[in-house]
Amino acid sequence: MRRWNRWAWREIILTAAIVVAILAFFFLPLPKYIEGPGEANDLKTFVTIKNHPDKDKGKFMITSVALSQARPATYLYAKFNSYYSVESVDSVTGGESNATYDRVQNFYMQSAINEAIYTAYRAANKPVKRQYLGIYVLSVDAKSPFAKKLKVGDTVTKVDGHHFNSMTGYQHYIQKQRVGKRTTITYQRNGHDHEETAKLMKLPTKKAGIGIILTDNVKVTAKPKVKVDPGEIGGPSGGLMFSLQIYNQVTGKNLRHGQKIAGTGTVDGDGNVGEIGGIDKKIIAAKRAGATVFFAPYVKPSKLLLKYEEHHMTNYQLAKATAKKYAPNMKVVPVETFNDAVKYLEAHQ
């Protein structure tokens, strides 16, 4: 009886250990993230313009990258699949908390939507206004004199009482000051104005600065009013495709002619298209959704640029290489501006 009990307990312990190991393999969180192909969503479901419905066939699709915390199983899967990647926590969140990271991504998305509306309405000759609110604080250097004063999500509206109409305006003013000069920053937080004064720090460029990473914060109003609901998608990379969808609806032009058209890239107030991350994964997402055309941001490659680019290739080079391998029937179209994309669609009906 004792021998039976010993063997029975050994079997129970061994079985429990195996179960724990299996559960850990699939569910134990690791201090890494897995990036892979996300979805290619039909923008008809995102954009609403009163009296301007989209009834044309085909789709403009916004592509995304799927991001999830790594588990041992997904870590191994990513290591053996070329269009998945393992990323450090800091490279994904910038060292910020998940809440701060989400706040920044949501701001990026809203900013992309604003610039897309402005770009599309200007191209359509429709009434649109762009109000420059200030510079949005994306992160604050721990060594910044304003580190305990400014927070991610604040909008700087004045420096020493001066308001500028561009991010570069603020940067040029501050960089002309001497390091150590006491400077007053006026900013908004939760709709209320605040002021803080501190000495300017020396940046790695040797010039004076306040030690923040920033971007433009703008407000756009348009007629007819347009509503864009991005759902759970964050980040700035949907700007180009949002602008195409909005332009298609507000003008009533049929740019797609039944095609499924995907793409990616930021867009600014002048319609310039900028590079983004994870374009290889977005090509896979577009292919799975049946896209036949993919718009990719284009920049002229150089040795210095390629040194810092993802996979040491520009967005367009990486998109084209990925499509050649995994989606040979998809046409990858390089675009530098919103107008480049429109002209392509008008010429390829």
Residue 49: alpha-carbon gap to chain centroid: 24
260 is catalytic: no
Q: Active site residue: 85, 237, 281, 320, which one? A: 237
Which string of DSSP letters, residue by residue, matches 86-114? Answer: EEEHHHHHTT--HHHHHHHHHHHHHHHHH
Enter the tokens of residue 12.
Answer: 């129970």
Q: Which one-letter amino acid corresponds to residue 300?
A: K
Are the C-beta atoms of residues 113 and 130 closer than 8 Å to each other? no
Q: Active site residue: 44, 282, 287, 320, which one? A: 282
**Residue 323 half-sphere exposure, CB side, CA atoms within 13 Å?**
26
Q: Which residues of 198-232 are buried (b: 16+ CB within 10 A; e: fewer)?
A: bebbeeeeeebbbbbebebbbebebeeebebebee
237 is catalytic: yes
What length does the chain have?
349
Q: Strand pairing of 128-140 and 212-222?
A: antiparallel
- Peptide bond preceding 334 in cis form (omega within 30 of 0): no
Q: Could you give the CA distance from residue 170 to residue 346 in angstroms, rounded to a whole number? A: 39
Q: Could you give the CA distance from residue 72 to residue 76 in angstroms, rounded to a whole number? A: 6
Q: Could you give the CA distance from residue 288 to residue 274 in angstroms, rounded to a whole number? A: 24
Enter the tokens of residue 238.
Answer: 């949907």
Torsion from C-alpha of 320, 321, 327, 333, nearest 10 degrees: 0
Beta bridge partner(s), residue 337? 272
Q: Could you give the CA distance from residue 91 to residue 76 in angstroms, rounded to a whole number? A: 19
Return the percent helix, strand and coil in the chain, to nearest 5.
40, 30, 35
Residue numbers annotated as active site: 237, 282
